Chains A and B, each alone.
Chain A
Amino acid sequence: MADVKKHNTPMVDELKGGSWPSFVDDIEQKGLKGKQECLDLLGQLELSYEHKETHWKHGGIVGVFGYGGGVIGRYSDVPEKFPSIAHFHTIRLNQPSSKFYNSDFLRKMCDMWDHRGSGMTNLHGSTGDIVLLGTKTDELEPIFYDCTHQLGADLGGSGSNLRTPSCCVGKARCEYSCLDTQDICNDLTQTYQDELHRPAFPYKFKFKVSGCPNDCVAAIARSDCAIIGTWKDDIRIDQAAVQAYIGGELKPNAGAHSDRDWGPFDIQKEVIDLCPTNCMWMEGKELKIDNRECTRCMHCINVMPAALRPGVETGATILVGAKAPILEGAQLATLAIPFIRMESPYDELKDFVEKVWDWWMEEGKNRERFGELIQRQSIQEFLRRTGLKPIPQMVKEPRSNPYVFWSADEVEGGWERDVKAFRARHAA
């Protein structure tokens, strides 16, 4: 084995102590087994801790043949000190829906990455991809070949294209899920391979799928198109289980508060009074819900999961246009479609998505997120382009200013008028 050179890293070494898993220890152990990249990375990090500035150069375009995304170029600005990380590119590998793995896949991936990369990863990046950190330009094609042939895995997205869609654990393990989140995520990913790999958009576009309004993958905050499960019929109630919660045999919120004494469970205070719409009440020993008034916030179901379940007429609420603050400020996604049935192959959803993309590709400015286009050109334009009907569910409240953009064809007689005729009625 080649000699490995450990750098003096007193500050970074401080992060080996404490209880939380230490990335420093992990990386150093790997380095001491022969991966110079790991030791150089810690060395460069120490330099950043001294200078309080990053030592990675800006960008650098690299990629694999025929793909416009999935690889992010990275170069050290102190390569003479840390030569093994002079190039340190990132590979984004598209993760399987909801991130289950078997050990065989993981080992193959590790072997590949030890052979062709630094042995360091992010599992996972914030967008969802398996992020493999640190390789050189001439390894990119072999890595791509190994991934597609041996792992059956393809690159994810980066740049101005569809980003890797992601989803919550859904029906695989969660009784709340109103959607087959894995299938939707996988279907969209497969359907839109071209959009994922070949940038044609003004900027990034993200799909995220959560099975219920708890929104465990933060779709409403981070995705240009959030697909969130919901139901149209009534919350299912098991009255015997309601009594079991009241009697203390079942723990509220599935035991989420077990380390503190909050007193005995009080259904009035903890469920009925916290219902944001006041649509629940007790009638003798029966819990009643006026489901027409329920906004499906999930609180009562979260508190008494064994007694309450979402209804069975399920589908998704679609919200669009969330983004982090750059440039026009942060946006949460805006409700576009209150309810859409979600059965494979999801044609109705795809039809909507393609109208969204057509509009955005035609009118979006360079680096303008979809939510910003809506802000710039208006919700009304969004509705026209997608053929959606305006409904009160789209707003918190109606507007408070009367500055309406009427168009010529909406007012009697149109905009063409005769100023002479006007003056004939009114002296100047």
Chain B
Amino acid sequence: MANRITDIGPPHYEQFFPPVIKKNYGKWKSHEIVQPGVIKYTSETGDVCYAVRVGSARLITTDLIREIAEIADKYCEGYCRWTTRNNVEFHVTDEATLRALLDDLKGRKFPGGSYKFPVGGTGASVTNIVHTQGWVHCHTPAIDASGVVKAVMDDLFDYFGSHKLPAQVRIALACCLNMCGAVHCSDIAILGIHRKPPLVEDERITGVCEIPLAVAACPLGAIKPATVEVGGEQKKTVRVNQDRCMFCGNCYTMCPAMPLADGEGDGIAILVGGKISNRVSAPKFSKLVIPYIPNEPPRWPTAVKTVRRILETYAANADKYERLGEWAERIGWERFFEKCDIPFTEKSIDDYRLAYTTYHTTTQFKWSVHTDNL
């Protein structure tokens, strides 16, 4: 194509700053959340800016984006912003416009009755669930993403628009172990898992993948090259040592002739207690507390119920400012399982590499339901 240009990079951010942001860049002095979803910033110059945060489904159409643009034009001089957790933010500088904007947002609904722009996600709330693609757009998922998120957020809707929790609770979902959504450091992580070893398409494998790559892909060395007879012909292929496979799907990523999706076998694992911020305690990984919940489209009732139970047990028991993982560590994991009424199974004991660092090497433990009958 004529006049083709490349490597221009992203549009420069500054052209998209609302005037009040541009003027007060680096001069903000303090902030206050005036109501859930509305943060008021005060500048050294005396200016104020209200940021109104609304939820979004992340998977959105151009029509919804046009509606956001229309709202931005009407109230925000034509500007808006997206957050890292797929919320949308509108900025206004006076209370009258703020009230008008909030009223307007509340009235906008989809035909089925859901809010287009629910206000919330600040402070001690459950903010938007970061998530991946699921059955809507990826080739490796064990579960859907948008559907599970919709079901969970419908159930926790009240926690999005309020400040009732001891601290913020970040929920994340990834539809397979690749974890494109980086769920491994969330207060509550919903993770799609496969539970059956890959199939091997002997007839197709040499045509679509490099066998050494497939063999090398397996972190457990479970894949070996093999030669088999297909229709009287010797064919190069691979065999999987099924006892060693932990169903990560890495082989499928490298080799399309090794699919592992399975409607009956796939499902959800729940991990809890991760965090990213350095506030009070160090960042932590989420820990696996429920190894498997069946896949239950369209509303995943068991997963939804489980997430709510963990969230509410935490909310009822934790101290102010205490994140879910900090609470679990304070009371001890044995007590966490007891209080949340989650059965402890061998699956929550690490047996992957460097597992030893997670074992207890002290006589300091707590009595719990697990020891009562000893």
**CB-CB contacts of A154-187 with B at 8 A, as 1s and 0s?**
1000000000001011011111010010100010
> Is B144 an interface position by the 8 A CB rule?
yes
> Is B96 an interface position by the 8 A CB rule?
no
Query: Which residues on A sit within 8 Å (CB–CB) of B133?
Result: 122
Give the residues from 1 to 31 in chain B that come closer than 8 angstroms, CB to CB, to chain A: 1, 3-18, 21, 25-26, 28-31
Query: Which residues on A sit within 8 Å (CB–CB) of B28?
Result: 171, 173-175
- Asked if residues B181 and A12 are in contact (CB atoms below 8 Å), the reply is no
- Asked if residues B139 and A30 are in contact (CB atoms below 8 Å), the reply is no
Checking A16, A103, A175, A302 against B78 with a beta-carbon cut-off of 8 angstroms, the contacting residue is A103
Query: Which residues on B sit within 8 Å (CB–CB) of A19?
Result: 113-115, 118, 154, 157
Checking B1, B86, B147, B276 against A218 with a beta-carbon cut-off of 8 angstroms, the contacting residue is B276
In the complex, identify which listed stretch (B32-40, B223-231, B233-241, B336-344) lies at the interface while the others stay far away: B32-40
- Asked if residues A173 and B41 are in contact (CB atoms below 8 Å), the reply is yes
- Asked if residues A26 and B177 are in contact (CB atoms below 8 Å), the reply is no
Minimum C-beta distance from B140 to chain A (A): 7
B155 to A, closest residue via Cβ: A18
Query: Which residues on A sit within 8 Å (CB–CB) of B83?
Result: 99, 169
Query: Which residues on A sit within 8 Å (CB–CB) of B58?
Result: 23, 122-124
Checking B124, B184, B264, B354 against A257 with a beta-carbon cut-off of 8 angstroms, the contacting residue is B124
Assembled-state Cα–Cα distance A89/B187 (Å): 33
> Is A330 an interface position by the 8 A CB rule?
yes
Given contact pairs A106-B66, A120-B61, A182-B13, A327 touches B147 in the complex (Cβ within 8 A)? no
Query: Which residues on A sit within 8 Å (CB–CB) of B3?
Result: 149
Minimum C-beta distance from A400 to chain B (A): 12
Give the residues from 125 to 151 in chain B that come closer than 8 angstroms, CB to CB, to chain A: 130, 132-141, 144, 146-147, 150-151
Query: Which residues on A sit within 8 Å (CB–CB) of B45?
Result: none
Assembled-state Cα–Cα distance A103/B75 (Å): 12
Query: Which residues on B sit within 8 Å (CB–CB) of A22?
Result: 57, 110, 112, 114, 150
A365 to B, closest residue via Cβ: B216
A306 to B, closest residue via Cβ: B30
> Is A214 an interface position by the 8 A CB rule?
yes
Checking A29, A214, A218, A329 against B185 with a beta-carbon cut-off of 8 angstroms, the contacting residue is A218
Query: Which residues on B sit within 8 Å (CB–CB) of A251?
Result: 32
> Is A413 an interface position by the 8 A CB rule?
no
Minimum C-beta distance from B14 to chain A (A): 8
> Is A98 an interface position by the 8 A CB rule?
yes
- Asked if residues B12 and A52 are in contact (CB atoms below 8 Å), the reply is no
> Is A5 an interface position by the 8 A CB rule?
no
> Is B331 an interface position by the 8 A CB rule?
no
In the complex, identify which listed stretch (B294-302, B306-314, B362-370) lies at the interface while the others stay far away: B294-302
- Asked if residues A114 and B62 are in contact (CB atoms below 8 Å), the reply is yes
In the complex, identify which listed stretch (A258-266, A354-362, A377-385) lies at the interface while the others stay far away: A258-266
Query: Which residues on A sit within 8 Å (CB–CB) of B166?
Result: 257
Query: Which residues on A sit within 8 Å (CB–CB) of B232?
Result: none
Checking A17, A151, A194, A326 against B250 with a beta-carbon cut-off of 8 angstroms, the contacting residue is A326
> Is A102 an interface position by the 8 A CB rule?
yes
- Asked if residues B123 and A256 are in contact (CB atoms below 8 Å), the reply is yes
In the complex, identify which listed stretch (A56-64, A284-292, A339-347, A401-409) lies at the interface while the others stay far away: A56-64
Given contact pairs A52-B295, A106-B65, A171-B26, A220 touches B9 in the complex (Cβ within 8 A)? no
Query: Which residues on A sit within 8 Å (CB–CB) of B164?
Result: 259-260
Query: Which residues on B sit within 8 Å (CB–CB) of A27?
Result: 59, 61
Given contact pairs A154-B7, A154-B9, A253-B321, A299 touches B141 in the complex (Cβ within 8 A)? no
- Asked if residues A17 and B112 are in contact (CB atoms below 8 Å), the reply is yes
> Is A352 an interface position by the 8 A CB rule?
no
Query: Which residues on B sit within 8 Å (CB–CB) of A58?
Result: 139, 252, 256, 259
**CB-CB contacts of B38-67 with A at 8 A, as 1s and 0s?**
010100000001010001111111111110
Query: Which residues on A sit within 8 Å (CB–CB) of B100?
Result: none
B3 to A, closest residue via Cβ: A149
- Asked if residues A52 and B184 are in contact (CB atoms below 8 Å), the reply is no
Assembled-state Cα–Cα distance A123/B285 (Å): 26
**CB-CB contacts of A253-286 with B at 8 A, as 1s and 0s?**
1111111101000000010001010000000000
Assembled-state Cα–Cα distance A95/B83 (Å): 12
- Asked if residues B33 and A255 are in contact (CB atoms below 8 Å), the reply is yes
> Is B248 an interface position by the 8 A CB rule?
yes
Assembled-state Cα–Cα distance A326/B252 (Å): 13
- Asked if residues A299 and B279 are in contact (CB atoms below 8 Å), the reply is yes
Checking A18, A21, A109, A151 against B56 with a beta-carbon cut-off of 8 angstroms, the contacting residue is A21
Checking A23, A217, A309 against B59 with a beta-carbon cut-off of 8 angstroms, the contacting residue is A23
Checking A48, A107, A299 against B66 with a beta-carbon cut-off of 8 angstroms, the contacting residue is A107
> Is B111 an interface position by the 8 A CB rule?
yes
Give the residues from 59 to 114 in chain A that come closer than 8 angstroms, CB to CB, to chain B: 59, 65-67, 74, 88, 90, 94-107, 109-110, 113-114
Minimum C-beta distance from A337 to chain B (A): 16
> Is B222 an interface position by the 8 A CB rule?
no
> Is B360 an interface position by the 8 A CB rule?
no
What are 23 A-to-B residue pairs whose CB atoms are below 8 Å?
A12-B298, A16-B112, A18-B154, A23-B58, A56-B138, A58-B259, A96-B12, A96-B16, A97-B13, A100-B21, A101-B16, A122-B58, A124-B86, A151-B11, A152-B8, A216-B84, A253-B124, A253-B321, A255-B163, A274-B280, A324-B184, A328-B353, A330-B185
- List 4 tightest A-B contacts by C-beta distance, closest first: A256-B123, A16-B112, A18-B154, A58-B256
**A interface residues with partner B (beta carbon < 8 Å):** 11-12, 14-27, 29-30, 33, 38, 41, 45, 48-49, 51-59, 65-67, 74, 88, 90, 94-107, 109-110, 113-114, 119-124, 126-128, 133, 141-142, 145, 148-149, 151-154, 166, 168-169, 171-175, 177, 180, 182, 186, 189-190, 193-194, 197, 213-218, 220-222, 251, 253-260, 262, 270, 274, 276, 295-299, 302-303, 305-306, 309, 324-330, 332, 366-367
